[in-house]
């Protein structure tokens, strides 16, 4: 049960990071690369 709660927190944190990355990344291609890696982590989870 504890691990599923932690997993949900991790997914929410990654989703927030996915939304915030484009605001802070100077290069849009860099932001897209980070979003892609975060998205693939979300898919794996």
| pLDDT for res 25 | 57
Evaluate whether 29 touches 42 at the Cβ level (below 8 Å).
no
CA distance 45 to 41: 6
State the Cα–Cα distance between residues 4 and 21, nearest whole angstrom: 25
Position 22 scores a pLDDT of 66
Give the whole-angstrom CA distance, residue 4 versus residue 22.
Answer: 28
Report in angstroms the alpha-carbon separations of 42 from 18, 21, 26, 27, 37. 10, 15, 24, 23, 9
pLDDT in tens, 1-45: 578 888 899 889 888 887 777 666 566 676 677 778 878 887 876
Write down the pLDDT at residue 8. 92
> How confident is the model at residue 1, as a pLDDT?
58
């Amino acid at each position: 049960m504890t691990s599923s709660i932690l997993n949900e927190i991790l997914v929410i944190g990654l989703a927030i990071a996915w939304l915030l990355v484009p605001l802070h990344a100077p290069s849009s291609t860099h932001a897209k690369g980070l979003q892609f890696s975060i998205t693939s982590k979300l898919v794996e989870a």
